[in-house]
């Protein structure tokens, strides 16, 4: 029997949930449904992947419960697309604009992974320093463009107050 994310999350307190997006941290102060819809409106496409807003410690516990090895380098991340599990984890969500930029960045990694012509870069990039990885260069550029478009469109007041 394989353990699913749903099974693992049943043992945790879910503060907010919308579709496959879960906020496990009581300090997540945004309306998750609004963040979800705003993200995909500006992303221009829907991506069916679980997104979990939680602490790095909690993410490592979830990763371990799902049978993967925990990762030390998560302590430096704002978010991560865990390819092997097909989950996006978001760790920093205090400020709205950085949160959105992290979402755009991590969801870009999912888009890269879904692109058969780009997917191989995940494996070849492993050998390169972080800032030299094509997957990261592309995701940072994509997030920068999307956040600029997002700001130009005007952020709904209910999301930033």
47: left (phi over 0), alpha (psi -120 to 50) or beta: beta
Orientation of helix 134-153 relative to helix 32-43, angle to 10°? 110
C-alpha 100 chain-centroid distance: 10
Residue 42, number of CB atoms within 10 A of its CB: 16
C-alpha 65 chain-centroid distance: 19
What is the model's pLDDT at position 156?
Answer: 63
What is the model's pLDDT at position 1?
Answer: 45
How far apart CA 131 and CA 116 sit, in angstroms, is: 23
Q: What is the pTM of this model?
A: 0.92
- Write the CATH number for 13: 3.40.390
- Number of structural domains (the chain) is 1
Q: Which domain holds residue 72?
A: 5-160
Q: What is the pLDDT along the chain (161 residues), one digit of tens a residue?
A: 468 999 999 999 999 999 999 999 999 999 999 999 999 998 988 999 999 999 998 998 999 999 888 766 666 689 999 998 999 999 999 999 999 999 999 999 999 999 999 999 999 998 899 889 999 999 999 999 999 999 888 876 556 54
């Amino acid at each position: 029997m394989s353990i699913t994310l749903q099974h693992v999350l049943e043992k945790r307190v879910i503060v907010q949930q919308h579709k496959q997006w879960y906020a496990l941290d009581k300090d997540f102060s945004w309306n998750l449904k609004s963040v979800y819809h705003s993200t995909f409106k500006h992303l221009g496409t829907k991506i069916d992947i679980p997104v979990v807003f939680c602490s790095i410690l909690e993410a490592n516990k979830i990763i371990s419960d799902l049978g993967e090895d925990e990762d030390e380098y998560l302590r430096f991340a704002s978010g991560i697309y865990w390819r092997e599990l097909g989950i996006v984890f978001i760790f920093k969500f205090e400020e709205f604009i950085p949160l959105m930029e992290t979402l755009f960045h991590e969801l870009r990694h999912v888009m890269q992974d879904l692109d058969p012509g780009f997917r191989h870069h995940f494996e070849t990039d492993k050998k390169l320093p972080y800032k030299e990885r094509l997957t990261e260069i592309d995701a940072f550029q994509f997030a920068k463009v999307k956040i600029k478009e997002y700001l130009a469109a005007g952020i709904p007041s209910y999301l930033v107050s």
